[in-house]
């Protein structure tokens, strides 16, 4: 099968592209390399340096004629979306529509879409949140992801373009850029390995559902495998159903590093969501998926990756 992966040079997309290739599929990668990195691109994949908003994307889709599109590309920085909602909408909504229009022209069979479980539900009224939880995103980023979910339902209804929506929790792991839009784990790892004391925003009791990137990749493999059956036109949470606060992340990294950084708190970020955790019962049942990597094991692999990156830099 031929699969086109948008954002295939990025943190999550590159891991997904690798996994599809290892399963024997042909992979075409689209990435503008603004946040993605060329070193993440698997040499077995065909690569186009292109922004998903560009009209040329439609021609590439028609020329390549992929069976399935895995849409991982996005503006993912929640804080930037708050500062510049127009840019967020341009990339995430306009770029998504450009991709879907090209997919119709290219007769793509199915779209796998990376949505958000962390931002789409807003402040939860039940814990963990199932896919049926009310959708009250508090950020332009969450709103743009919800918009694309609604557009996918439209394209299914009008053009019979089927889809699978995967609502990710807070994904972490190797290749996550500790700069820019990175999550707290990547930021803390990089700072602690450099001997810097990380700053915990507010009281550090804000929680998230942290999911290791390998488990996210597995959900994408199963979505592809079942795209004509149990995954067709379905929405799935991809998380652990475990709430973890920032202080726990900080202390876990301390333990793994055998270090003693002071627990330093800064000002709370205005409008930051307090709690987030996902119900993954449906994903377990319909996709036969469940997370396999516990937090400490995932943190250790992530730390090892950043430590190796620092070693390579110091040796070059």
Encode pLDDT of 214-260 as tens digits.
999 999 999 999 999 999 999 999 999 999 999 999 999 999 999 99
Q: What are the C-alpha distances in Å from 93 to residues 5, 11, 101, 141, 152? A: 17, 20, 12, 10, 11
User: Would the pTM count as exceeding 0.95?
Assistant: yes
**Residues 19 and 73 reside in one and the same domain:** yes
Is residue 151 within 8 Å of residue 171, measured between CB atoms?
no
Task: Please report whether residue 283 resides in a domain.
Answer: no
Residues 218 and 262 in one domain: no
Shared domain check, 117 and 10: yes
Pair 222, 305 in one domain: no
Looking at the fold, whether 42 and 143 belong to one and the same domain comes out as: yes
Choose between 290 and 118: higher pLDDT: 290
Number of compact structural domains in the chain: 2
Going through 184-252 in order, the beta strands assigned E by DSSP cover 199-201, 207-208, 210-212, 234-238, 244-245
Same domain (yes/no): 217, 264: no
User: What's the confidence (pLDDT) of residue 269?
Assistant: 85
- Does residue 286 belong to any structural domain of this protein? no
The fraction of the chain above a pLDDT of 70, given in percent, is 97
Res 301: pLDDT: 98
The answer to whether position 145 is within a domain reads yes
pLDDT for res 305: 97
Does the structure show a pLDDT above 90 at 182? Answer: no
Q: Are residues 166 and 178 in the same domain?
A: no
What pLDDT does residue 316 have? 47
125 and 257 in one domain?
A: no
Question: Which of the residues 141, 155, 210, 212 is marked catalytic?
Answer: 141
Residue 13 included in any domain:
yes
Question: Do 172 and 185 contact (CB within 8 A), yes or no?
Answer: yes
Q: What is the CATH number of the domain that holds 300?
A: 3.90.25.10
For 41-55, what is the mean pLDDT? 98
The H or E element that residue 84 is part of is: none
Q: How far apart are CA 198 and CA 55, in angstroms?
A: 42
| Residue 19 pLDDT > 50 | yes
Instruction: Please enumerate in sequence order all residues whose Cβ is within 8 A of that of 262, keeping only pairs 6 or more positions apart, or say none.
Output: 197
Which tokens go with 96? 């998504």
24 and 56 in a single domain? The answer is yes
Strands 68-71 and 2-6: parallel
d(CA 35, CA 180): 9
Give Cα 152 to chain centroid, integer Å.
18
Is 285 inside a domain boundary?
no
234 belongs to a structural domain? yes
Residue 165 has pLDDT above 70, yes or no: yes
Q: Is 87 a known active-site residue?
A: no
- Do 260 and 139 reside in the same domain of the chain? no
Residue 163 lies in a domain: yes
State the CATH number of the domain containing residue 37. 3.40.50.720
Measuring CA to CA, how many Å separate 293 from each of 56, 107, 246?
Answer: 39, 37, 19
Please, which pLDDT band fits residue 54 given cuts at 50, 70 and 90?
A: very high
DSSP string for 252-296: HHHHHHT-----EEEPPPTT------B--HHHHHHH-------HH
Is residue 101 within 8 A of residue 88, CB to CB? The reply is: no
Long-range CB contacts (< 8 A, 24+ apart) of 251-260?
A: 252/295, 252/296, 252/299, 253/188, 253/189, 253/192, 253/299, 253/303, 254/192, 256/296, 256/299, 256/300, 256/303, 257/192, 257/193, 257/303, 259/192
* Confidence band, pLDDT 50/70/90 cuts, at residue 310: confident
Cis ω before 99 (30° cut-off from 0): no
Are 164 and 180 in a shared domain? no
β-pairing, 244-245 with 207-208?
A: antiparallel
Residues 192, 109 share a domain? no
Residues of the chain with pLDDT > 90, as a percent, come to 93
CA nearest neighbour of 202 among 268, 132, 299, 284? 268
Q: What is the mean pLDDT of residues 175-179?
A: 90
The parent domain of residue 261 ranges over 174-208+242-277+293-315
Residue 189 lies in a domain: yes
């Amino acid at each position: 099968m031929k699969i086109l992966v948008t954002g295939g040079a990025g943190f999550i997309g590159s891991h997904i592209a690798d996994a599809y290739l290892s399963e024997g599929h042909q992979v075409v990668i689209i990435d503008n390399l603004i946040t993605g990195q060329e070193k993440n691109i698997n040499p077995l994949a065909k690569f186009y340096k292109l922004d998903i908003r560009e009209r040329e994307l439609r021609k590439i889709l028609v020329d390549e004629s992929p069976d399935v599109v895995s849409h991982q590309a996005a503006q993912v920085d929640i804080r930037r979306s708050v500062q510049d909602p127009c840019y967020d909408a341009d990339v995430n909504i306009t770029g998504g529509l450009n991709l879907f229009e090209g997919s119709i022209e290219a007769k793509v069979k199915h779209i796998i879409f990376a949505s958000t479980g962390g931002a789409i539900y807003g402040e939860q009224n039940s814990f963990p949140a199932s896919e049926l939880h009310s959708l009250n995103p508090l950020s332009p980023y969450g709103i743009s992801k919800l918009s694309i979910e609604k557009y996918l339902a439209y394209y299914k209804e009008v053009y019979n373009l089927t889809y699978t929506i995967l609502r990710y929790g807070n994904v972490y792991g190797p290749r996550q850029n500790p700069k820019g839009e990175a999550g707290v784990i990547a930021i803390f790892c990089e700072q602690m390995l450099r001997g810097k004391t990380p700053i915990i925003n507010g009281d550090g009791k804000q929680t998230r559902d942290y999911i290791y990137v390998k488990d996210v990749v597995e959900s994408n493999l199963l979505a592809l495998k079942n795209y004509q059956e149990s995954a067709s036109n379905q929405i799935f949470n991809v998380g652990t159903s475990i709430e973890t606060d920032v202080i726990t992340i900080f202390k876990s990294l301390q333990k793994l590093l055998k270090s003693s950084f002071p627990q330093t708190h800064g000002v709370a970020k205005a409008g930051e969501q307090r709690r987030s955790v996902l119900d993954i019962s449906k994903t377990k049942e319909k996709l036969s998926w469940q997370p396999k990597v516990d937090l400490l094991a995932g943190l250790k692999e992530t730390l090892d990756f950043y430590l190796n990156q620092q070693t390579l830099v110091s040796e070059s």
